[in-house]
Amino acid sequence: MPQDDDEDPRNGAVEANDHAHQSPLKKPRLTRPISEPDILQEFSHHQQGFARINNGSFGSCPRSVLSAQNTWHLRFLQQPDEFFFNSLRKGILESRAAVKALINADDVDDVSLVDNATTAAAIVLQQVGRQFADGSFRKNDAVIMFHCAFPAVKKSIGAYIGPAGGSVVEVRLPFPVRSNEEIIAEFKKGLERGKINGGRVRFAMIDHITSMPSVVLPVRELIRVCREEGVDQVFVDGAHSIGSVPVDVKEIDADFYVSNLYKWFFAPPAVAFLHCKNSKGLVDLHHPVVSQEYGKGLALESSWVGNRDYTPQLVVPSILEFVNRFEGGIKGIMKRNHDGVVKMGTMLAESWGTMLGSPPEMCASMIMVGLPSRLCVTSDDDAMSLRTHLRVYHRIEVPTYYQALRNEDRDPKDKDGFITGYVRISRQIYNTDEDYHRLKNAINQILEDGKICSMLPVE
């Protein structure tokens, strides 16, 4: 059926190149940057007529990359043994080398590819747990993280640190936030709390860009503070970062840095990189799924965790090709996304009479925008109802956030009351201003109709 052929991005790329074989860093001759119609075509498999302003959760993948992925998949299906013995390892190494160059890592051995940041967190936290279990870290030592760390990561800390005897210090993220200094001050207080029982803070889990509420944290400064305080290991959860902020692992200087490539770097679901500073010195870092590669270093262990579909890990060179079709490459994309999301966030805040959750310089390709207090977002359920209502009735996908009042002078207000709800809008290359006007109008319509969250139909 022609309709399906048009929709299925596996039916050939916009440009029919054999992406699987080109050298990772070779920039194609850029005769002209990719055009608007080309961009639309690359994302024509997205649901049409839908304002997709939640790139943060599941990311997005253009047709050319999906097509490259399919080429790899087909090669495996044609002759899997030959693929396994002759192509797979090479292909993964090429992808890792491409990532190494992208993030300014010293050694490709330090770069592992895993499914996602959730997996990387399990890997790193298991290792921390073992250090508590074997006594390298003592029972009254602590692990520090932000209270808004991603839920999976919080559970992972609960699973691997708690039972092993470590205690956890949570740092409350000031939100809405005005400056990096507010965050650093809270973090320093948290570090002090970690020393209360006479122990040390052994491990710090720091988001590069928090998920909800979304703010870009001053990771370099926070890590400097950690080093000054003698924190043994710092793990940066940069799930959102690659493709939305510059990532230079040498400069950031964390012990572990993870970022998902499928969120902002156009990879298909799902692949992430985990960079481990000086991995050769880490004898006890392992992928929990043990294969014949056990003991050869995390990068090799991760490259074979039993028979699976490794195609998402193989397309990094193809992604670079895609990204380099844009003016300024990934840097240009990041800048335009940032400028666009700030402009649209400001537009929404003005229309609704609210405000932004952070200053523009503390956001990348996502920004938090306050929702009018009249909507009465009084719980997580209210926030979810609003999100569902927007999806079903207004064809808008945008994540919502509820934050209870903290009874401080700083509780945000609009002319009608206190602001307790926010949307996290994102901007990626497939978005147009129309998407955000649609959101603006939808909220204004709900208000005009006199509805509040708990009254909104969701089916």
Partner 1 sequence: MDSPTTNNHNHIHTHHLNGASTISQPSKKPKLLSSSFITPAEIHEEFSHHDPSVARINNGSFGCCPASVIAAQHRSQLHYLRQPDNFYFNELKKGILQSRTIIKDLVNAKHVDEISIVDNATTAAAIVLQHTAWSFHEGTFQKGDVVLMLHYAYGAVKKSMEAYVTRAGGHVIEVPLPFPVASNEEIVREFRKALERGKSEGKRIRLAVIDHVTSMPCVVIPVKELVQICREEGVEKVFIDAAHSIGCVDVDMEEIGADFYTSNLHKWFFCPPSIAFLYTRKIPKGGSELHHPVVSHEYGNGLAVESAWIGTRDYSAQLVVPAALEFVNRFQGGIEGIKKRNHDAVVEMGEMLAQSWGTHLGSPPDMCGSMIMVGLPTSLGIACDDDALGLRVHLREQFGVEVPIYYRPPRDGEVGCVTGYARISHQVYNKVDDYHKFRDAVNQLVNNGFTCALLSG
Q: Of the two residues 356 and 390, which places its CB atom closer to partner 1 in the complex? A: 390
Q: How many chain residues interact with partner 1 (CB under 8 A)?
A: 76
* The dihedral sign for the CA sequence 87, 88, 89, 93: positive
Please tell me the distance from the alpha carbon of residue 232 to that of residue 455, in angstroms, as a whole number: 50
The yes or no reply on residue 11 touching partner 1 (CB under 8 A) is: yes
118 lies in the binding site for partner 1 (CB under 8 A): yes
Residue 272: Cβ within 10 Å count: 27
Candidate segments 121-129, 181-189, 204-212, 355-363, binder of partner 1 by CB under 8 A: 121-129
In the complex, the smallest distance separating the C-beta of residue 363 from partner 1, rounded to whole angstroms, is: 21
61 touches partner 1 by CB under 8 A:
yes
Residue 184 burial (CB count, 10 A) = 16
Closest CA to 238 of 408, 121, 385: 121
With 0-12 / 13-18 / 19 or more C-beta atoms within 10 angstroms meaning exposed / middle / buried, residue 7 is middle
Pairing of strands 256-260, 233-237: parallel
Q: Please provide the DSSP assignment of 303-368 as one string.
A: H-SSS---HHHH-HHHHHHHHTTSTTHHHHHHHHHHHHHHHHHHHHHHHHT--BSS-GGG-SSEEE
Work out whether 12 is an interface residue with partner 1 (CB under 8 A).
Answer: yes
Q: Select the span of 58-66, 170-178, 337-345, 347-355 touching partner 1 (CB under 8 A).
A: 58-66
Render 99-139 in DSSP notation, one character per residue.
HHHHHT-S-GGGEEEES-HHHHHHHHHHHHHHHHHTTSS-T
Query: Which helix (H) or strand (E) covers residue 143, if one does?
Result: strand 142-146
Q: Which of 93, 133, 225, 452 binds partner 1 (CB under 8 A)?
A: 133
Question: In this chain, which of 159, 168, 184, 347 binds partner 1, going by CB under 8 A?
Answer: 159
Q: Which residue among 95, 126, 244, 365 contacts partner 1 (CB under 8 A)?
A: 126
Q: Which of residues 293-312 bind partner 1 (CB under 8 A)?
A: 294-295, 305-309, 312
Closest CA to 150 of 122, 177, 189: 122
* 288 sits near partner 1 (criterion: CB under 8 A): yes
**Closest separation in Å from C-beta 170 to partner 1:** 16
Task: State in angstroms the smallest separation of the CB of 10 from partner 1.
Answer: 6
Q: How far is the CB of 104 from partner 1 (least distance, A)?
A: 26
- Residues of this chain, 309-348, that bind partner 1 according to CB under 8 A: 309, 312
Nearer to partner 1, 12 or 359 (CB): 12
Rounded CA separation 230/71 (Å): 48
- 10/89 with CB nearer partner 1: 10
Buried b (16+ CB within 10 A) or exposed e, 385-416: bbbebbbeebebbbbbbbbeeeeeeeebebee
Identify the residue among 45, 193, 336, 374 touching partner 1 (CB under 8 A).
45
Q: Determine which residue in the list 152, 168, 184, 452 makes contact with partner 1, applying CB under 8 A.
A: 152
Q: Interface with partner 1 includes 430 (CB under 8 A)?
A: no
Does position 115 interact with partner 1 (CB under 8 A)? The reply is yes
| Residues between 65 and 104 with contacts to partner 1, criterion CB under 8 A | 66-67, 70-71, 74, 76-82, 84-85
Interatomic CA distance for residues 211 and 145, integer angstroms: 13
Q: Does 136 bind partner 1 (CB under 8 A)?
A: no
Pick out residues in 353-372 that bind partner 1 (CB under 8 A).
Answer: none
Residue 5 interacting with partner 1 (CB under 8 A): yes
Measured at the CA of 316, the angle between CA 313 and CA 318, to 5 degrees, comes to: 125
Question: Least distance from C-beta 152 to partner 1, angstroms?
Answer: 4
By CB atoms closer than 10 A (0-12, 13-18, 19+), residue 120 is buried
Q: How far apart are the first and last CA of the chain?
A: 31
By rule CB under 8 A, what string of x and - marks binding of each residue 244-273 to partner 1? ----------------x-x-----xxx---
Provide, rounded to whole angstroms, the least separation between the CB of residue 410 and partner 1. 29
Distances (CA, A) of 186 to 55, 192, 231: 29, 10, 16
Residues 388 to 427: which contact partner 1 by CB under 8 A?
Answer: 388, 391, 397
Closest CB to partner 1 among residues 226, 398: 398
